[in-house]
């Protein structure tokens, strides 16, 4: 079970590192979880996905390496850890959710920072291929955010790249497991309309 943020607030950057040497490595910063809002969302998504899994009839326990390292202490602050001790059956749909202590939430944050990655990693690509879902691993989610520049945006509402004259960007960076050509064609058609309008061309 996986979860993603389709519109992350965290932003990274890539810059040319040398004014003349075109082969010089770029200065790249992924910027994962640089905005605290994204971390809060992923923490909530972890808890929600865990609750969904616990209520599935096929549930028979949790694979500990892919969960935070919850641990009980003398005060018994953690109700999350016992769920990881041994394989158990599913719970009733109306069961109470797992209660997380302050320490538990800190462990979830550590876990999230350790495992966070770009949307389509190699491992996820292999999983997609195994279950015969369209391979969309060539696209990275949120590559060029369309929003105000002061909010970390890269592209304006008419696809113009901020700070660069005469450059527009349109890409299929919305996630989906449907036929990706459909999404690409819709985006391309809208981009074509905007470009022809800016060029003053009549396409009717």
Q: Which residues are CB-contacts of 84 (< 8 A; sequence separation ≥ 6)? A: 62, 64, 67, 70
Is 50 exceeded by the pLDDT of residue 161?
yes
User: Does a structural domain hold residue 72?
Assistant: yes
pLDDT computed for residue 142 by the predictor: 61
pLDDT computed for residue 174 by the predictor: 55
107 and 47 housed in the same domain: yes
Is 90 exceeded by the pLDDT of residue 6?
no
pLDDT computed for residue 106 by the predictor: 94
176 and 110 housed in the same domain: no
Q: What is the DSSP letter of 96?
A: P
User: Does a structural domain hold residue 129?
Assistant: no
55 and 150 housed in the same domain: no
What does the pLDDT look like over 63-75, one tens digit per residue?
Answer: 888 889 887 654 4
What does the pLDDT look like over 163-203, one tens digit per residue?
Answer: 999 999 987 765 555 566 777 888 889 999 999 999 998 87
67 and 1 housed in the same domain: yes
146 and 84 housed in the same domain: no
What does the pLDDT look like over 19-64, one tens digit per residue?
Answer: 999 999 999 888 889 999 999 999 999 999 999 999 999 888 888 8
End residue of a domain, out of 55, 86, 116: 116
Contact 49, 1 (CB under 8 A): yes
User: Does a structural domain hold residue 88?
Assistant: yes
User: Does a structural domain hold residue 121?
Assistant: no
pLDDT computed for residue 141 by the predictor: 60
111 and 144 housed in the same domain: no
8 and 44 housed in the same domain: yes
Please report, rounded to a whole number, the percentage of residues in the chain having pLDDT higher than 90: 36
pLDDT computed for residue 163 by the predictor: 94
Question: 140: closest CA among 112, 163, 117?
Answer: 117
What does the pLDDT look like over 92-145, one tens digit per residue?
Answer: 999 989 889 898 999 999 999 998 877 654 444 444 343 333 444 445 566 788
Question: 89: closest CA among 49, 64, 63, 58?
Answer: 58
pLDDT computed for residue 76 by the predictor: 45
How far out from the chain centre does Cα 83 lie? 26
63 and 11 housed in the same domain: yes
Q: How many domains is the chain partitioned into structurally?
A: 2
Give the domain range for residue 85: 1-116
């Amino acid at each position: 079970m996986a979860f993603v943020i389709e519109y992350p607030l965290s932003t990274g950057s890539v810059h040319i590192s040398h004014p003349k040497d075109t082969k010089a490595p770029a200065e790249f910063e992924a910027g994962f979880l640089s905005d605290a809002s994204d971390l809060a969302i992923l923490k909530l998504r972890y808890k929600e996905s865990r609750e969904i899994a616990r209520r599935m009839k096929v549930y028979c326990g949790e694979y500990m390496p892919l969960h935070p390292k919850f641990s009980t202490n003398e005060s018994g602050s953690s109700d999350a850890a016992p769920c990881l001790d041994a394989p158990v059956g599913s719970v009733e749909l109306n069961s109470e959710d797992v209660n997380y202590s302050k320490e538990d939430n800190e462990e979830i944050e550590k876990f999230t920072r350790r495992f966070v990655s770009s949307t389509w990693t190699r491992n996820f690509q292999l999983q997609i291929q195994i279950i015969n879902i369209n391979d969309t691993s060539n696209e990275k989610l949120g590559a060029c955010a369309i929003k105000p520049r002061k909010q970390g945006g890269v592209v304006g509402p008419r696809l113009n790249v901020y700070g660069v004259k005469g450059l527009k960007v349109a890409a299929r960076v919305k996630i989906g497991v449907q036929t990706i050509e459909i999404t690409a064609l819709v985006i391309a058609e809208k981009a074509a309309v905007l470009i022809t309008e800016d060029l003053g061309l009549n396409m009717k």
